[in-house]
Amino acid sequence: MLREIDVVISTNKDLLGLETLINQIKNQSGKFEVSIIIIHQYRRVENLPKFLVDNKILYKNLAEQNLSNAKNEGIKLSRSKIMTFIDDDVSISQDYFLSSWEFLNRNNCDLMFCRINKMNSNLPLSRNMKDNSKKINYFNSSCCLSSSMWINKKENENLYFDKNIGLGAKFGSGDETDFIFSSLSLKKKIYYNSKVSMYHPEEFIGLDNSKQIYSKFFSYGMGQGALYKKHYNKNKFLCIYLYFLSLIKSVLGIFLYLFFFKLKNVIKYFALFYGKIVGFNNYKNIQ
């Protein structure tokens, strides 16, 4: 049986920065037929570096800086039954594809998300990424990030990301959770896989001051608030419960990191808290 995987990498950076990741993809354990789709959100079409000149690599330039739109383009271009999204700044171990493939098929997943560790560490990127694998529902999806998302396309009809939610949109996060909620409403089978890891830079890398930290996480909070407003009419009680639970977690985060005098985290959780309120209140303006 030929094991085909389409890998979608969305990036708005210089293509030379992808060389290490591309080599990691090409040197995976197991026998796989891997096609790589590069969605380049960049101001101009670039000449491809030599390591990207390959008949198994497809390049597409998009002028619009919108991650959900870029992912949708990747879905449209994908031809394999199994596809995965990988961020442009991560590192993957040599058995990432093999372990993910085995888990995906063993559990008959429609969607799967893998654990993500901090770069050069065994510590999870998010405290929600525990050591136990689990089936995902509306109450435990916070361990799932699209950086490690796998799709098993069992049917011909594809589900797409909401272009109004996610990095580059007005509501700057929550795209994978929105995708999960939509998939759950269609009775899709979704799992978090704790046994496979990729490695991601820590969340404050590249943020040089308090203003940049606030701006990033305020945008993230807006996306999370908008998410609950979007799905409100489908299940009012569930969305209100999850929304207020999310606000409470942000408030607890503020006080926890005040106690430990970790200013960056205090700013992060305050920005998330306020962003969630603004996002929930404003989402109606674009429906």
pLDDT tens digits, 28-42: 999 999 999 999 998
Lookup: tokens for 261: 């005098």
**What is the 3-class SS of the chain, one letter each residue?**
CCCEEEEEEEECCCHHHHHHHHHHHHCCCCCCEEEEEEEEECCCCCCCCHHHCCCCEEEEEECCCCHHHHHHHHHHHCCCCEEEECCCCCEECCCHHHHHHHHHHHCCCCEEEEEEEECCCCCECCCCCCCCCEECCCCCHHHCCHHHEEEECCCCCCCCCCCCECCCCCECCCHHHHHHHHHHHCCCCEEEEEEEEEEECCCCCCCCCHHHHHHHHHHHHHHHHHHHHHCCCCCHHHHHHHHHHHHHHHHHHHHHHHHCCCHHHHHHHHHHHHHHHHHHHHHHHHC
Question: For residue 164, is pLDDT > 90?
Answer: yes
Question: For residue 155, is pLDDT > 90?
Answer: no
Give tens-digit pLDDT for 234-276.
999 999 999 999 999 999 999 999 999 999 999 999 999 999 9
Q: What angle do CA 48, 49, 50 make, to 5 degrees?
A: 115
What whole-number distance in Å separates Cα of residue 210 and Cα of residue 213?
Answer: 5
pTM above the 0.75 mark?
A: yes
Longest dimension (CA), the chain: 56
Model confidence at 102, pLDDT cuts 50, 70, 90, reads very high
Mean pLDDT calculated for residue range 190-207? 92
| pLDDT attached to residue 287 | 47
Give the residue, 238 or 158, on which the prediction is more confident: 238
Model confidence at 46, pLDDT cuts 50, 70, 90, reads confident
What whole-number distance in Å separates Cα of residue 140 and Cα of residue 188?
Answer: 15
Model confidence at 2, pLDDT cuts 50, 70, 90, reads confident
| pLDDT attached to residue 285 | 46
Question: For residue 96, is pLDDT > 50?
Answer: yes
Cβ–Cβ under 8 Å, residues 28 and 94: yes
Lookup: tokens for 149: 């998302």
Model confidence at 165, pLDDT cuts 50, 70, 90, reads very high
Question: For residue 278, is pLDDT > 80?
Answer: yes
Q: Which residues pair with 185 in a beta bridge?
A: none
Model confidence at 286, pLDDT cuts 50, 70, 90, reads low
